[in-house]
Amino acid sequence: MTQSNRNTAQERAVRIELARARAALERQAVARGARELASQLQPRALMHNAFPRFSSRSPTDWLWQAVKLTRRYPLLTSSASALLSGLGKGKRRVWWRIGAGLLLSWQMARNMNRKGEDAEDKIR
């Protein structure tokens, strides 16, 4: 082999090695992108993207927020109970109705107590 043939063979080997390295880097980038996409499609990440303020809360905080909303908007409780009354069949349906009825009666009792306290405050 002559000197020029050796240089061309070396250059060709270097170009092939560079192409392999580029392909390996691209495969890693695609794999990383797939992992990031999978993590972004998890329910927690979707909630964080949709509602960033609420996503860091625990389930008990969510429950407390729901209770606050039902206090502020009593119609919300009755609407939810109306929607839930149609769910399920058989015993499950009965339990949904009982639960919705208990929630509604509890909310009504709280509102009545609050109105009574407000009336007492006005008298004083």
pLDDT in tens, the chain (124 residues): 677 778 898 999 999 999 999 999 999 999 999 999 888 888 777 777 666 666 556 667 767 777 777 777 777 777 777 766 665 556 677 777 778 888 888 777 777 777 666 655 656 5
Domain boundaries, the chain: 3-44, 58-123
Which pTM does this prediction carry?
0.38
Residue with tokens 């004083």: 124
